[in-house]
Amino acid sequence: MAEFADVIIDITHEKVDRPFQYRIPESLKALVQAGCQVDVPFGKGNRIRSGYVVGLSDRAEYDISRIKEIAGIHAGSVSAESQLIQVAWWMKERYGSTMNQALKAVLPVKQQVEQQEKRWIRCLLKEEELRQRIEEAAKKKYKARERLLRAFLDADVIPYEMALRTLNLTRSALKPLEEQGVIALDSQAVCRNPARTYLQEDKAALMNGGKVLLNEEQQAVVTDICRQYQAGIRKTYLVHGITGSGKTEIYMELIDHVRRQGKQVILLIPEIALTYQTVLRFCRRFGDQVSFIHSRLSAGEKYDQFERARRGDIQIMIGPRSALFTPFPKLGLIIMDEEHESAYKSEITPRYHAREVARYRAGLSHASLVLGSATPSVESYTRAVQGIYGYYKITKRAKKNSFLPKVQVVDMRQELKEGNRSIFSRSLRSQMEEKLAKKEQVMLFLNRRGYSRFLSCRSCGEAIRCPHCDVTLTLHQNNRLVCHYCGYQIPRPEACPSCGSPYLAPFGTGTQKIEALVRTEFPGARVLRMDLDTTSGKGGHEAILAAFAEHEADILIGTQMIVKGHDFPAVTLVGILAADLSLYAPDYRCGERTFQLLTQAAGRAGRDEKPGDVVIQTYSPDHYCIETAAAQDYESFYKQEMAYRKMLHYPPACVMMTLLIGAPEEETAAAAMALAAGVTANYELSVIGPVNAPIYKLNDIYRKILYMKCENYDILIKIRNQMEEGLKEGGYGGRIGVQFDFLS
């Protein structure tokens, strides 16, 4: 047993960003381990502070008589596996944060959870009666009631709050059902396993429930990965399967295989795709072996789920980014669905990418990592091409008679030329009319991600770009066009620099405006709109999606929120109103994002047996991102995108490190940045800037940014460390904010 423990004091400050050595008293020797939260005397006054044990040793690092002793173990603390501490250490090194910040991202926080009363809705009917009631409700078009009753086919009890939220029910809708003896409202002490509540009594049946027979393509992937797993091979795999190709079924088989070996599994899903439908699918298959976390859980609830994982009460954890830190002692597999999603990148320190951390953790735990996507990130696909990742491609939809939709690209410049100034092309309009007449559903998609105001020409389709950086210039309030990378700026031109046309306008239409237009142009249609405005209230986006899935509306208008999660079998037409919107964001990844969004949006059409159609409206029909998305041709998109990245030295052709420095005085920010930027002179790498950050003044802080590109990650880390040193020595310590970010 170790004599000494390295302890990090639990405050976020650079000065304590190193472990202090403490002696472990005899009475605690059996208890102290890496990850423990302990109380220790600290500083001159020996005030008792709390800290984390991040290492153990038998040797004193300095004069033994001066080493203080641990005062006690923090009551109720989770001692995370030393692996997680190692993960934290690695994150600190790679992304630049204090060990405390890294530990806070990795270790669950214990919090007092008050024993709150929770309510449940219990179904009092036998199955036959229930089915009868469902039929009645359907006949009378009591949509909300029908939804609730249908949910009872899967579960006897449903949490009250969830029912209101995800099934779009109102309190008054429940009243009559209660009076008629259909349901009862129960109160009981809090039961913090979200999964258990979906369970029916017959667990055995559930454990095998929801299983489908895999098709040949699916089975081939499962067989190969399982064979390697069996042979002790652990690696990273990329499953590249088109939308609806049955990737989720593949995950379930893999999970089952690994679970049967006594190992545990983490499945990462972007929060927006983690819907009630998905939850039910996994509960049916895995019963109470599975648990979920999401951002709406309180810290205490999350802690409980992690505790259950640590104790081995559950074997499968499903959730967004932070589920990666589930303290499973026998982790055997990590799966990352929709691996290309930007939500996997943390935008708070440590600014880690879950894909990279997942690889590291998998390595430590001797686990495999499976990445899945219909539109893999350029980074992952590159590794697959290089043979670093195993690679599987699935080209067919899983459901019989379901095929990829037919895609038509409409040139909006031509529409204008021929006198159509509407936001609907003639083709989209006529197809909408046709589908609505057949009582099929339509989705209208406004591609707004990465949206910023830029100027584009309605005649030739050109967007005005920076001559140095190949990104669009952003239109500012003072009527100047500014490059957010290099600072280049020009006054707003009167005419198009390419063709001289005066039809030069800021791009972009809001979803609200589109809704109004749809209502006037298609007066008979029932319209739902989904964007930040309509989803922020109670009910949220799930309620809207549920209503649309129940065919309570004919047309759903939305932003990227609508492309994830739900299956809408009756949607046969997807209209993409302005494919260019995300194409000209001031970011080197905007082409990739556009391709992903268009492909994913198109994949919403024709999920069932009725064939699907997609109309992509654009001012740049010849742009490779739009052409390849329309052709659903990933390989050719990748080839062109990678050529562009190589030419301009953007990741993954190299690693990009950004340094952001902020200070309340402009001069301080500039001087500190100049000092830091000086470090780059000693290295061979390409540097852009320093320039003013895209948002130069934020909360009265002036921000400067520097971009550094290099093929070698380690060199960038060296530069970062040197910059941090230099700034400290230069006396900038507490006067500026410093933030490093890595893109690789």
**Interacting residues toward ligand ADP by CB under 6 A:** 212-215, 218, 241, 243-249, 398-399, 567
* Binders in 450-469 for Zn ion, by CB under 5 A: 457, 459-460, 462, 466, 468-469
Distances (CA, A) of 279 to 147, 286, 287, 296: 16, 11, 11, 15
Q: Which does 241 bind (CB under 5 to 8 A by kind): ligand ADP, Zn ion, none?
A: ligand ADP
Q: Which does 570 bind (CB under 5 to 8 A by kind): Zn ion, ligand ADP, none?
A: none
Which 8-state DSSP code applies to residue 321? G
Nearest approach in angstroms of CB 148 to ligand ADP is 22
Name which position in 149, 369, 496, 528 contacts Zn ion (CB under 5 A): 496
Regarding beta strands 157-159 and 117-123, do their DSSP bridges make them parallel or antiparallel, or are they unpaired?
Answer: antiparallel
**Of the listed pieces 279-287, 447-455, 492-500, 689-697, which binds Zn ion according to CB under 5 A?**
492-500
DSSP 229-250: HHTT---EEEEEE-TTS-HHHH
**Of the listed pieces 355-363, 499-507, 603-611, 666-674, which binds Zn ion according to CB under 5 A?**
499-507
d(CA 267, CA 88): 20
Q: Which does 123 bind (CB under 5 to 8 A by kind): Zn ion, ligand ADP, none?
A: none
Tokens 């996997």, located at residue: 344
Q: Which does 697 bind (CB under 5 to 8 A by kind): ligand ADP, Zn ion, none?
A: none
d(CA 197, CA 466): 55
- Which of 563, 569, 582, 577 has its CA nearest to residue 428? 577
Q: Which does 215 bind (CB under 5 to 8 A by kind): ligand ADP, Zn ion, none?
A: ligand ADP
Nearer to Zn ion, 137 or 471 (CB): 471
Q: Does 417 bind Zn ion (CB under 5 A)?
A: no
Nearest approach in angstroms of CB 458 to Zn ion is 8
Nearer to Zn ion, 435 or 458 (CB): 458
* Percent helix / strand / coil, the chain, rounded to 5: 40, 25, 40
Q: Which does 469 bind (CB under 5 to 8 A by kind): ligand ADP, Zn ion, none?
A: Zn ion
**Terminal alpha carbon distance of the chain:** 41
DSSP 578-633: -GGGGTTSSSTTHHHHHHHHHHHHHTTTT-SSS--EEEEEES-TTSHHHHHHHTT-
Name which position in 48, 64, 388, 499 contacts Zn ion (CB under 5 A): 499
Sheet containing 527-530, strands listed edge to edge, beginning at the edge strand earlier in sequence? 406-411, 613-618, 571-576, 441-445, 555-558, 527-530
Which 8-state DSSP code applies to residue 671? H
Q: Does 501 bind Zn ion (CB under 5 A)?
A: yes
Residues 6+ apart with CB under 8 A from 615: 407, 408, 410, 425, 427, 428, 431, 573, 574, 575, 576
Nearer to ligand ADP, 73 or 280 (CB): 280
Handedness of CA 277, 281, 284, 286 (dihedral sign): negative
CB 292 within 8 A of CB 211: no
**Of the listed pieces 121-129, 254-262, 484-492, 649-657, which binds Zn ion according to CB under 5 A?**
484-492
Nearer to ligand ADP, 166 or 245 (CB): 245
Nearer to Zn ion, 140 or 468 (CB): 468
d(CA 340, CA 668): 38
Q: Does 498 bind Zn ion (CB under 5 A)?
A: yes
Nearest approach in angstroms of CB 604 to ligand ADP is 11
Q: Which does 391 bind (CB under 5 to 8 A by kind): ligand ADP, Zn ion, none?
A: none
Sheet containing 737-743, strands listed edge to edge, beginning at the edge strand earlier in sequence? 686-698, 701-710, 655-663, 737-743
Tokens 């970011």, located at residue: 587
Q: Does 503 bind Zn ion (CB under 5 A)?
A: no
Name which position in 488, 644, 683, 713 contacts Zn ion (CB under 5 A): 488
Q: Classify each residue of 185-209 as buried b or exposed e, where b means 16 or more C-beta atoms within 10 Å of its C-beta.
A: eeeeeeebbbbebbbbeeeeebeeb
Nearest approach in angstroms of CB 338 to ligand ADP is 9
Nearer to ligand ADP, 8 or 398 (CB): 398
**Of the listed pieces 89-97, 281-289, 501-509, 607-615, which binds Zn ion according to CB under 5 A?**
501-509
Q: Does 486 bind Zn ion (CB under 5 A)?
A: yes
Nearer to Zn ion, 280 or 460 (CB): 460
Nearest approach in angstroms of CB 225 to ligand ADP is 16
* Binders in 93-122 for Zn ion, by CB under 5 A: none
Name which position in 7, 84, 483, 563 contacts Zn ion (CB under 5 A): 483
Nearest approach in angstroms of CB 397 to ligand ADP is 7
Q: Which does 218 bind (CB under 5 to 8 A by kind): Zn ion, ligand ADP, none?
A: ligand ADP
Nearest approach in angstroms of CB 493 to Zn ion is 10
Q: Which does 499 bind (CB under 5 to 8 A by kind): ligand ADP, Zn ion, none?
A: Zn ion
- Which of 639, 628, 624, 623 has its CA nearest to residue 602? 628
Q: Which does 457 bind (CB under 5 to 8 A by kind): ligand ADP, Zn ion, none?
A: Zn ion
Length of the chain: 744
Nearest approach in angstroms of CB 574 to ligand ADP is 15
Nearest approach in angstroms of CB 241 to ligand ADP is 5
Nearer to ligand ADP, 133 or 566 (CB): 566
Nearest approach in angstroms of CB 399 to ligand ADP is 4
Nearer to ligand ADP, 248 or 431 (CB): 248
Q: Which does 249 bind (CB under 5 to 8 A by kind): ligand ADP, Zn ion, none?
A: ligand ADP
Tokens 């964007």, located at residue: 531
d(CA 326, CA 108): 9
- Determine if the peptide bond prior to 376 is cis (ω within 30°): no
Q: Which does 670 bind (CB under 5 to 8 A by kind): ligand ADP, Zn ion, none?
A: none
d(CA 461, CA 413): 7
Tokens 């220790």, located at residue: 40
Q: Which does 245 bind (CB under 5 to 8 A by kind): Zn ion, ligand ADP, none?
A: ligand ADP
- Which of 327, 294, 397 has its CA nearest to residue 108? 327
d(CA 329, CA 314): 11
Q: What is the largest CA-CA distance in the chain?
A: 89
Residues that bind Zn ion (CB under 5 A): 457, 459-460, 462, 466, 468-469, 483, 485-486, 488, 496, 498-499, 501
